Amino acid sequence: MTAHKRYPIPDAIKDTTLLNEEQYQAMYNQSISDPEAFWAEQAGMLEWYQAPTKIKNTRFGEGEVSIKWFEDGELNASYNCIDRHLADNAKKTAIHWEGDTPGEAEAITYQQLHYEVCKLANGLKKLGVKKGDRVAIYMPMVPQAAYAMLACARIGAVHSVIFGGFSPNAIADRINDSDAKVIITSDEGRRAGRSVPLKTNVDKALADGACPSITNAVVLKLTGADVDWNDDVDVWWDELVDDCTGQCEPEVMNAEDPLFILYTSGSTGTPKGVVHTTGGYLLYTAMTFKYVFDYQPDDIYWCTADVGWITGHSYMVYGPLINGASQVFFEGVPNYPDVRRIAQVVEKYKVNSLYTAPTAIRALMAHGDKPAEGCDLSSLRLLGSVGEPINPEAWEWYHRVLGENRCPIVDTWWQTETGGIMITPLAGATELKPGSATRPFFGIEPALFDADGKELEGANEGNLVIKNSWPSQARTVYGDHERFINTYFSTYPGVYFTGDGARRDEDDYFWITGRVDDVLNVSGHRLGTAEIESAMVAHSKVAEAAVVGYPHDIKGQGIYVYVTPNDGVTADEALSKELRDWVRNELSPIATPDKIQWSEGLPKTRSGKIMRRILRKIAANEHDQLGDTSTLADPSVVDKLIAERLNK
């Protein structure tokens, strides 16, 4: 095996980081050998109405999966994010909001955050929202998105944030799956100078009684665009909260009460509503935020994610706010108005730690050193990466151009289901290797299994599992605990299966190799091939469709679709465009196919199962590595597909 390039811990940060190597080792060892004692002590990071005495009660048994942490503790998430900081830090900025258009900005203190969240919490109560009710949130990246989440948490309602890029059908599916009572949205969103018709999308989702559980839509006036109005359902945010006070007593919640549902894609079927509960999730996100970003009280932290994804939940709302941090909340995109936007925002707010995704880094890297030109990046101390494997070239560019060869990069591996960061370097404790997420965080026991369920030892490559529970682990799939068990605990009974492959090297460093199931990671967005396929076959001209990922320079993975049109349909460029637009509208612009290949037939086994392994190889132009095709019902299909692919 070739030796990897290494980046030692810079001398300049050795005395200032929260943890060094010995401290990491000591804490890690305790977290594994005595999790009860370790987590009981860490629980002091949160403020509890009733401190927990029962720490861990978790079972990954066959047929029975039950995960409880701190089960007799009582607390409130919004209290921990806001009220606890008011005594000493009321005037501290919680959110530096930076708009899509440069120059548009607003600073929100913890005091203001308290006021806004309480007002909306009271407004939601007026609409009849009670503890345990679900509230959907479909918002752009404005501070009100965080207010909405925290207002739900304050009154014990369960939020379900729907990414602002999803289309009406996807919104309706998510509302109906969770039986949401209220949806909170805005007239429009803005992105790279364009407007996004959020309210119109909600109207379409609710049309014709498609979402019977919804009683009201709360609408924030943001751009002032003309929107349709239904007096029975719609209520302006401002009018709703106008007569509400800025005080709202937080609801006392059990540690195991649900905090939120977040939908994510799997290898089969419709998206799953991943359920996170209160105590364990808050503790783990607070703790990982502190140690992974080496948080110091005067830091300015910036995560470029969207609140619609788990990164936005854990590391833009709960983690930073519990720590009382000041952070940048960015409405725009990294290359608008031009490729220096990230560097300009870093300079403007003197950002100390920046957390972004490999896809953004690769998009900027295509412009050489220009993305940093003329900008003062000296405030940066630490860089982070999340969402997909970071290729060493992108890592090196990030380190050199934005990190000025000075800042360590924390490549954080985790998932919607894990709630918080699982495998990551720590700036003061871990020597870095570009492309490796390195070592587990406290309490995390990663292991590699082969296809037969045998654990692999030492330097090896296999399927990544986690052997024991950790506090922010998802508790269930909303309304379908069987599916939770089947998806995560049936492949390898007794452990949590991540769906990722990984390699462990001679230093016990982990290298995530990507999904081993039919889940795509397109620009850091997680998409199920099954979802895209079902959108495709819903089109009247499509007989059959198979979706696979293929390597893409910027997106990491692109979406490659094999389509068999119905008899008599002309397969041409016009149809290709029609199908692309169709998926955009049915599902989301992020699910738009990059390549469509017409195919008379698909490679299937004699029992009719599509052999995706072969389709993936053809899409990636790796025709020489097709492997065994002898089980195919009609092997000649493959030759035709290859011939077509080569002509593209």
What residue ranges bind ligand PRX (CB under 6 A)? Answer: 264, 309-311, 385-389, 411-416, 437, 498-500, 512, 514-515, 521, 526
What are the E-state strand segments in 567-638? Answer: 595-598
Chain-centroid distance, C-alpha 35: 27
Nearest CB to ligand PRX, comparing residues 414 and 550:
414
DSSP symbol at 332: S
Q: Which residues, 6+ apart, have CB-to-CB distance to 556 below 8 Å?
A: 358, 359, 362, 388, 389, 521, 522, 523, 524
What is the C-alpha to C-alpha distance for residues 71 and 134, in angstroms, rounded to an integer? 22
288: left (phi over 0), alpha (psi -120 to 50) or beta: alpha
469 is in an annotated binding site: no
**Minimum distance from residue 394 beta carbon to ligand PRX (Å):** 12
**Minimum distance from residue 629 beta carbon to ligand PRX (Å):** 28
Nearest CB to ligand PRX, comparing residues 203 and 294:
294
DSSP symbol at 109: E
**Minimum distance from residue 435 beta carbon to ligand PRX (Å):** 9
Nearest CB to ligand PRX, comparing residues 328 and 357:
357
DSSP symbol at 8: P
**Minimum distance from residue 264 beta carbon to ligand PRX (Å):** 5
496: number of Cβ within 10 Å? 24
340 is in an annotated binding site: no
Q: Which residues, 6+ apart, have CB-to-CB distance to 226 below 8 Å?
A: none
CA distances from 640 to 284, 475, 534, 616 (A): 52, 46, 24, 15
Q: 438 — phi, psi (to 5°)? A: 65, -105
Nearest CB to ligand PRX, comparing residues 4 and 539:
4
**Minimum distance from residue 634 beta carbon to ligand PRX (Å):** 33
**Minimum distance from residue 640 beta carbon to ligand PRX (Å):** 32
523 is in an annotated binding site: yes
Nearest CB to ligand PRX, comparing residues 78 and 412:
412
Closest to 300 measured CA to CA, from 372, 349, 356, 355: 349
Chain-centroid distance, C-alpha 159: 15
Helix axes 279-292, 35-42, angle to 10 degrees: 80
What is the C-alpha to C-alpha distance for residues 517 and 529, in angstroms, rounded to an integer? 10
Nearest CB to ligand PRX, comparing residues 122 and 416:
416
537 is in an annotated binding site: yes
**Minimum distance from residue 502 beta carbon to ligand PRX (Å):** 9
Radius of gyration of the chain (CA): 24
C-beta nearest to ligand PRX: residue: 416
Q: Which residue has the tokens 């995960």?
A: 67
**Minimum distance from residue 396 beta carbon to ligand PRX (Å):** 16
Nearest CB to ligand PRX, comparing residues 386 and 587:
386
Nearest CB to ligand PRX, comparing residues 417 and 533:
417
500 is in an annotated binding site: yes
323 is in an annotated binding site: no
What is the C-alpha to C-alpha distance for residues 582 and 601, in angstroms, rounded to an integer? 22
Nearest CB to ligand PRX, comparing residues 48 and 163:
163
Q: How many residues comprise the chain?
A: 648
416 is in an annotated binding site: yes
539 is in an annotated binding site: yes
**Minimum distance from residue 501 beta carbon to ligand PRX (Å):** 9
Nearest CB to ligand PRX, comparing residues 253 and 432:
432
CA distances from 241 to 438, 464, 471, 529 (A): 47, 47, 35, 42
223 is in an annotated binding site: no
530 is in an annotated binding site: no
387 is in an annotated binding site: yes
Both tokens of residue 240? 């709703």
**Positive or negative CA dihedral for 563, 568, 574, 579?**
negative
**Minimum distance from residue 602 beta carbon to ligand PRX (Å):** 26
Please name the amino acid found at residue 216: N
**Minimum distance from residue 390 beta carbon to ligand PRX (Å):** 7
CA distances from 245 to 35, 110, 126, 155, 492 (A): 43, 17, 12, 14, 52
Nearest CB to ligand PRX, comparing residues 413 and 470:
413
557 is in an annotated binding site: no
475 is in an annotated binding site: no
62 is in an annotated binding site: no
Both tokens of residue 316? 């833009």
Q: Which residue ranges make up the annotated binding site for ATP? A: 387-389, 411-416, 500, 515, 526
Binding site, annotated residues for CoA? 191-194, 311, 335, 523, 584
Known binding-site positions: 191-194, 311, 335, 387-389, 411-416, 500, 515, 523, 526, 537, 539, 542, 584
Q: Which residues are annotated as a binding site for Mg(2+)?
A: 537, 539, 542
